[in-house]
A and B are shown apart, each in its own frame.
Chain A
Amino acid sequence: MFSKQMVIHMSQDLHSDLPPSQKDEDSIRQSRRNLLKMAGAGVPMVITMKASAQQVLISQLRCAFVLGVRQRVLVDPAGNAWVSSRNIRRNNTKGLRLDSIEEFKASATFIGSATGMAGAPPQFRPTACPQGGDGDQYDDWTTCGYNYYRLGRNTNIKPADFLSGSTWNIGSSSRGLYLELSRQMAEGPLSTNGWPGISCVISVLTYLQMNGG
């Protein structure tokens, strides 16, 4: 006959004879049985941590775009803006060449009141040429009446950098101007086909609209 102590001892020996992996498996299986019992008693098998509004905002606004080709923006005193990848001939003393301006305009996308859009914000607009004076005018050249902004190829623009909460704060940089004009293109009547970065801008605008911006 075995004493109670001997039985316990044998049982322990039997258990210790099992390979470690078998012991682990038994332990895991028992732990899982207990978890399933808890599930059967109504304890959820799935617990969710909701994303905070701020986390969603950051992930939704993370898009950026890179200009595949250079972009030039010409702005007049009324805020009319012409955007093209062409260059305008410039001279440090004489300013912009008039016939080159006309060629640029002919090739450009026009954003201004004539197409129902606001155009360039005030901080990007030049002062008008003096009435009747031609002190700033050389033959075929002008140093007044236009601001000319240049964005190089590979310029990286992150719309979120120009947002304060849900308010646009575009500052006075060329990139801010391009973003503002892109925003108007996205919401305006013109075709956005081929406008660099438009899908990123639209996704940001869509998000802001959905969130009351």
Chain B
Amino acid sequence: MHHLLEGAFALNTMNNIADSNDVLWMSEGDLYLEHVFEDTTLVYCKPSGDTHFLSFLPADILKLIEKKPMSISALHTHFLTEYEFSENDLPLSIMKDAITQLDEIGLAWPSAADAK
């Protein structure tokens, strides 16, 4: 519930927060169950009871930020290297969109220090 509340806060302010490259984003693996089908990941969110279909990018973001909070710019740098993509293939705006969409379903939220 705590995380859902944080998620709700983030939802109200996400336009500002997701635009900031400095905010650290986080998640918790205990919140959901997942099953991977190639580049689509099925995620069952325990608090909401909803099931989400995630494309490969938000699914990979989730795995990363549940290990440690990361900023959008750090995520962007990480995935440019991991996927061997150019900035043209993976613009920063796509990273922001992916985080925003994870935020909307309560699976990602700004770390407590950033949410204050």
Q: Interface code A1-41, partner B: CB below 8 Å = 1, 0 otherwise? A: 00000000000000000000000000011011101100110
The verdict on A210 contacting chain B, using a C-beta distance below 8 Å, is: no
Q: Assuming A29-B83, A49-B50, is B56 touching A35 (CB within 8 A)? A: yes
Shortest C-beta distance, A37 to chain B (Å), equals 8
**Closest chain B residue to A40, Cβ basis:** B94
The verdict on A114 contacting chain B, using a C-beta distance below 8 Å, is: no
- Neighbour of B58 across the interface among A31, A32, A46, A59, CB < 8 A: A46
Q: Interface code B28-55, partner A: CB below 8 Å = 1, 0 otherwise? A: 0000000000010000000011111111
The verdict on B13 contacting chain A, using a C-beta distance below 8 Å, is: no
The verdict on B93 contacting chain A, using a C-beta distance below 8 Å, is: yes
In angstroms, Cα B102 to Cα A47, docked, is 10
Verify B58–A45 contact, CB threshold 8 A: yes
Verify A45–B52 contact, CB threshold 8 A: no
The verdict on A212 contacting chain B, using a C-beta distance below 8 Å, is: no
Verify B49–A59 contact, CB threshold 8 A: yes
Verify B55–A46 contact, CB threshold 8 A: yes
Shortest C-beta distance, A45 to chain B (Å), equals 4
**Closest chain B residue to A50, Cβ basis:** B50
B115 proximity list for chain A (CB < 8 A): none
In angstroms, Cα B55 to Cα A47, docked, is 9
**Total interface residues in chain B, CB < 8 Å:** 26
Which among B54, B55, B98 has the highest number of chain A CB atoms within 10 Å?
Answer: B55
A36 proximity list for chain B (CB < 8 A): 57, 85, 89-90, 94
Query: Which of under 10, 10 to 19, 20 to 34, or 35 or more describes the interface residues of A?
Result: 20 to 34
Shortest C-beta distance, A19 to chain B (Å), equals 17
A48 proximity list for chain B (CB < 8 A): 50-53, 105
Q: Assuming A35-B39, A36-B89, is B51 touching A45 (CB within 8 A)? A: no
The verdict on B101 contacting chain A, using a C-beta distance below 8 Å, is: yes
Verify B97–A39 contact, CB threshold 8 A: yes
Shortest C-beta distance, A146 to chain B (Å), equals 45
Verify A39–B48 contact, CB threshold 8 A: no
Verify A46–B52 contact, CB threshold 8 A: yes
A50 proximity list for chain B (CB < 8 A): 50
- Neighbour of A49 across the interface among B52, B56, B84, B102, CB < 8 A: B52
A39 proximity list for chain B (CB < 8 A): 55, 57, 94, 97-98
B52 proximity list for chain A (CB < 8 A): 46-49
10 new A-B contacts at CB < 8 Å, known A36-B89, A36-B94: A29-B85, A32-B83, A36-B90, A39-B98, A44-B101, A46-B54, A46-B101, A46-B105, A51-B49, A56-B49
**A–B pairs, 13, beta carbons within 8 Å:** A33-B89, A35-B57, A39-B55, A40-B93, A45-B55, A46-B54, A46-B58, A46-B101, A47-B53, A48-B51, A48-B52, A49-B50, A51-B50
State the 9 A-B residue pairs at the shortest beta-carbon distance, nearest first: A51-B49, A45-B55, A46-B101, A47-B53, A49-B51, A45-B58, A48-B52, A56-B49, A33-B89
